[in-house]
Amino acid sequence: MNIEPELCQVDDALDIIVGKWKPIILLHLMKNGTMRFNELKRSIPKITQKMLTKHLRELEEEDIIQRVVFPQVPPKVEYSITEYGRSLEKILVEMHEWGTRHRLHKMEKVEKR
């Protein structure tokens, strides 16, 4: 590994995707494409409206997702992954796979006791 620890940018990356709900929001948008706010809310039933709004705003601010408002009554808002946001897909898949392996590792460790 050629990463100099004092120059490590992992914390910058984690600032963008860390949180209980951000990876789940991103995975829903990556899987389903464009979604409206209420569709996202229904897809993640345990998230509060306030937290969903907060995370969507943060992800939009970082250019990870795109928010499109349609000028109509009632207002229609759609969210989708940006091209730049798609670059996180491989990372999220790797993190999911590592998390699965880690869970199995922990279970095996408990079983050996």
Instruction: For 19-58, write each residue's pLDDT tens digit.
Output: 889 999 999 999 999 999 999 999 999 999 999 999 999 9
| Structure confidence at residue 18 as a pLDDT band (50, 70, 90) | confident
Cα-based distances in Å from 9 to 5, 6, 13, 31, 40: 9, 9, 7, 27, 30
| Structure confidence at residue 82 as a pLDDT band (50, 70, 90) | very high
Q: What are the φ and ψ backbone dihedral angles of 88, each rounded to 5 degrees? A: -85, -15
- Give the mean model confidence (pLDDT) for residues 76-90: 96
Beta strands in the chain (DSSP E): 35-36, 65-70, 76-81
pTM above 0.75, yes or no: yes
| Structure confidence at residue 68 as a pLDDT band (50, 70, 90) | very high
Q: Measuring CA to CA, which residue among 88, 44, 39, 45 is closest to residue 63?
A: 88
Cα-based distances in Å from 30 to 8, 23, 44, 53, 92: 27, 10, 14, 18, 10
| Structure confidence at residue 109 as a pLDDT band (50, 70, 90) | confident
77 has which bridge partners?
A: 69
